[in-house]
Structure 1
Amino acid sequence: MAFFFKPPRGNIALHTIKTCVHQRLKYLMSVMNNDTSYEPEKMEYLITGSSMDRAGHYMLRLLAISSVRIREFFVKAETILFSARFKLLSSKEILTNMRISLRHISESVIGSGEPEEFLVNVKHIFEELSIRKIIDHIFSEDHSTECEQYTLKAPFTLCLSLVKQRKVSLKDGVADIPCGVFKIFLLELFEKHIVFGMEQLVNTGCFKEASQDPRIRELRKELEKLVLSSPAHITPVVLKACDVDTESVFFPLCMTHLHRTLRTRHRLSHEWRRQYTLFLKDIGMPVEEAIEFWSSEYSLPKSNDCDGCCHSWQKDAKRFHYSIRHMYGLEGGRYHYMVASCRALQMANLQPSAEGGCPFKHFDEEKLTSYFPSHLMEDDSVLNYILQLKKNSPKKACQAHMFAISRSEPLKYSSRTDEGKSSLIYYSPAHYYLSLKNT
């Protein structure tokens, strides 16, 4: 039951890590395809909890961040693999792995922030569960999914699928989880841990350098081809220029704001035009559609209240073509650019007239709530909760807003219950969009 809280140490030869990653990806594809006949060529790279098992997982995690195709496949496949491994363990082995995970968590919690807070919560949960009689009870063969002999308290954001299915009771944002659904809860924790791990990588100073390493870029392209060749891969959505207005209902407020500003003024300043272009690229807009999208806006005259950008498509078409293709990695150094992470947007030092940033960090309450849907404005308890979170934690306020708008009706949780879908956890505007679309 490897939770992957601790990356491997030491040096690994390039050919070894490439073989390890290829073996792991092929094995994940067989798991997704339910292909029981597949036999890995090098099984030593897939021994649960081994250094090579961790090396393959962490390298795939790094590659998945910068590729939408790999990311969606990776999160789903690793969760299925975790579930399959989990079922093969005895209660004694589960207890041993849980205690090892506790030690690794203690070594991983460095600094502060949402990923670290998540690890602290997981540590508390594992401490509560790491009791022999509880583990023996939960993982006994005749244990019922309706059993409530033991309960566990945890933030409701850690068990959203159970909240949607009404499997837990809620009070003041805390879920009371009965032992009958602990196994489902652990799967959801694992999936969230992968996503938070990606967020931690995005926010580290070495991520950009690592993702632009030519060896990493070459490996990413190889793996994308493998994922696309698999019948189990998740087909990426192609976003067309004519569909942006319709799809904007799924945008995070930071990108909704840029979209509305563009549609009103027909211009954006350089940096926020760049961020919006990268966002559209990351959620599935091909380069040809991006050129069409921006040409349609910049061919229009700018509004009277637009002071920043003085470019037009008629005058600067060649410059725009090159700029867009450069952001797609097709010109210049051919780097793989991505939209800024949530953390980067929140930490941005903005001028008063700036167009972008994080609405939950940089907008006042009046401007922020002007972007809220009507049903949310009518729900005083949820509205006040979001505005209270905004004061100290913009990311939590954004997550609470996302959860509120994903519900089918005000004050009622959605009745949709697909455990395989995202748990509303994200680390960038693009991931927000993909998570909300899959809910």
Structure 2
Amino acid sequence: MYKSGQRQHAYDNKDISLVENNGLLRYPSALNFYDRPPQFDVTVEEFETTAMDRLRVLAEIESSLARNRTWEELKTATYNQYMKYVPLHTNTYDDTEEERRKDHLGHYVLRLAFCRSEDLRRRFVKAELTLFRVRYEETEAMDREHFLSSRDFNWIPVTKEEKVQYNHGLYSMYHAFRHEQDRADAFEKEKFYKVKWTRVPDLVEKRKVFLKGGWAYVPGREQSSIVFKEFEVELERALETTARLIPRLDEDSRLIPVLDNLSQGFVAGVASEWTNATEPGSSGEIRAEMVDDLAKKHFPMCMRSLHENLRRDNHLKHFGRLQYGLFLKVLGLSVEEAIAFWRKSFSRVTDDKFNKEYRYNIRHSYGLEGKRANYPAKSCLQILTPGPSDVGCPYRHFSSENLQTALLSMYSQQGLKSADLPEIMATVDAGHYHVACTRVFEMTHAPHGVAKGEGIGGGESVTHPNQYAARSMELAKVKNEDDKMVE
């Protein structure tokens, strides 16, 4: 994004100049190889929010890949996610230019965030390539042809004479047709393109091309493989170039924390925040005596572990209290009920000590003391990447043996079996902790009609402990109402 000699040192208080402002670029197609950097000014806020929206899409792609979804399932989930956060419409849409500007900017910001290690670059390329493939397939044929004609992919159209010369070899690739006439008709209409075989290793592996003299003869129906490979190679090269230039950004103290936060979100596998998680728990719907039962039936492992530690020790350290207390607040525990809950939980503490050391902190977390801020509950991203004194995510921070023991201890009564553990542990070992949590949700809520791949609804993965608990409670409420109707 920054070019040598073009970095600006005299920023104003709001704007970041990505490159010299030469006016807005035009985006003739929804498909983009992102080979020209953005040439417009953006605010620091837009710099971050645009990247976060795109990261939500890439995180969903990673989740889908980790959950071994079929291509059609992955495509549907990805399409829904990007149309929600980074929508791209056809050229007839009114805000096409603005949509594509946001798409362009978000991609380049994430390049900065994920160019700094080989693992991040590999994951970023894989997710971006998948997003490009989905968009390519969803783009209308006319727009797709316009995009292909706008770039030089360095392929050589096969002439009619060459098609006749290698008729036997080219025709042999049409074995999938049931009827010979259909096969002959398809072959007659097909256009072929010639590229070096190293550009289409996937087609070579699947024997979908004819090879001759180091050239691969690619049928038109497989033309997209050339496009996808070109996208992948160019993005890998661009990321390596960006990695060499990234130290020049160190002088801008506003950007580095943003980029660090984005890359941490990708490492954790989570980008999105639960949108309902900022409301204070002032509804009073949950009473102190209900928490034990709710924990056993509806809490995610991180919060259930804290609850069991509290019940075992009659105490939690400061950061444990903070994390669990904010979770309960957002779940619906009022400040009065929270004080009652913690007072009963700290049964070994005298009334005087409780009032002096704990009551103030409880009221403070509800915005009733101190600066009176409404503190939100911690998201999965924050729990997955804790500080040295924070309480972390069991899927990430428990040993393999302890995690499996804890899972069976906590969730066997909800249907989790020993036979389910290998699948859960495979996602944990791959670093997809939120996917493991989502699979546990699906397995333990199968009696409520939750199918594999459905997640917490619409295929979405768990991104917030309160999201997990709220959805679990909602499913239980629906089931209870259905049972009453049957009676």
TM-score class normalised by the smaller sequence? 0.3 to 0.5
TM-score (normalizing by structure 2)? 0.43
TM-score (normalizing by structure 1)? 0.47
Q: Which has the larger radius of gyration?
A: 2
